[in-house]
A = this chain, B = another copy of it.
Amino acid sequence: MGLQLLEDQAESARALLAPEVLSYYDAGAGDEVTRVESEPAWAGFRLRPRVLRDVETVSTATTAAGVALAHPVGVAPMAFHALADRDGEVATAQGAGRSGALLVLSTRSSRSLEDVAAAASGPWWFQVYVMKDRRLTESLVRRAAAAGAGALVLTGDTPYVGLKRRVSGTRLAVPDDHFLVNLAAHAVPGQSITAQRAAAEQDPAVDLSTIRWLAEVSGLPVLVKGVLRGDDAVACLEAGASGVVVSNHGGRQLDRALPSALALAEVAGAVAGRGAVLVDGGLRSGTDVLVALALGADAVLLGRPVLWALASGGADGVAACVGAVRSHLEHVMALAGACRLDQLGPDLVVAPRAPG
């Protein structure tokens, strides 16, 4: 069963990775309430399956922001995959490609987006911050478009980096050329690393108008990541977004933010089909994915499980992880009496009690 595999990969990664890397990947902000609640929030939903439906052939095909996908299980943007595997995001892209998964590549990748694009055999999107240096931002997203990104995913929940107790004071051994691999090409000659880092910081003054600007300079659809409210989702769409990613940044930004699982229905209801709705945060099985799709998501993104898969098995590990979740999704869809994703709706689930 897929889930056993994910647990095995996580256990294996914990044994293989250096403690500071594990902490960097694993840590949440503040008291880690949001991080801790993410998984059980999905598990808290109960299912109302149907019986005696023809489920001989189960299809997981879907479309998100205009991209046709064999299944709705994608890879969330996360920084510095080279900490888990020497080939970094190149290996992740290979694994995603083999398993038919949408890849969302982080700006803070440890391999250049062009290298990753070359390794990708399936659809990939590019995650972006709007940096203090707007021209740097513009150049970067143009490069992503040129390299074949299908969409931009604008991270909206990080005007400042969340405070994480567990990694406070420790420093990862990330070589600077890894840290800035996607940005180094744009450095002004002679610019110090410190100045480069400052230019690459998210600009806390960005607002919703950034969405349309990004779409214009890149020519790509823009999805906003970090949305947890219906009114915010509508505001993003009205400001030009093609969709949203319901997310609390893996519990790494505002602690005590709602678990994604509990914010999704409101967001999907407000979007009402006018844009794509993706979700990440705490999804660990096909049943979790089933719940997300029933609540209105078009697709989901796996975060930490992909890092554990990468650390424990490289590209093959990533492909196995995605494949196990997809396979489990097919199984539970059949048991729930559904053979296509458009048969999944809110009537399939019973919401849990509110947290807190």
Contact = CB atoms under 8 A, between A and B. Distances in A.
Interface of A: 1, 3-4, 30-31, 33, 43-56, 154, 156-157, 159-160, 162-163, 165, 168, 203-208, 210-211, 224, 226-229, 231-232, 236, 239, 253-259, 262-263, 285, 287, 328, 331-332, 334-337, 347, 350-356
Given A1-B165, A163-B331, A231-B347, 18 more contacts: A3-B31, A30-B287, A43-B356, A44-B355, A48-B263, A49-B226, A49-B228, A49-B254, A51-B156, A52-B156, A52-B208, A54-B205, A54-B207, A160-B334, A160-B335, A256-B287, A262-B350, A353-B356
Contact of A46 (B1, B52, B206, B258): B258
A157 B51 contact: yes
Contacts of A258: 46-48, 350
A256 B40 CA distance: 12
Contact of A256 (B31, B47, B52, B347): B47
A177 B258 CA distance: 52
Nearest to A266: B48
A129 to B, nearest CB: 11
Contacts of A208: 52-53
Nearest to A244: B51
Given A30-B3, A50-B229, A204 B45 contact: no
B54 A206 contact: yes
Nearest to A211: B52
Contacts of A31: 3, 43
Contact of A159 (B46, B55, B165, B207): B55
Nearest to A45: B356
A33 B47 CA distance: 11
A203 B53 CA distance: 11
A163 B1 CA distance: 7
Contacts of A168: 1
Contacts of A351: 354, 356
Nearest to A226: B51
A316 to B, nearest CB: 22
Given A43-B33, A350-B354, A353-B356, A236 B157 contact: no
Residue of A45, A163, A211 with most partner-chain B CB within 10 A: A163
B228 A48 contact: yes
B255 A287 contact: yes
Contacts of A253: 49, 335
**Which of A52, A56, A228 has the most chain B CB atoms inside 10 A of its CB?**
A52
A255 B328 CA distance: 12
A119 B47 CA distance: 39
A160 B352 contact: no
A353 to B, nearest CB: 6
A253 B337 CA distance: 12
B56 A205 contact: yes
A349 to B, nearest CB: 9
Contacts of A255: 287
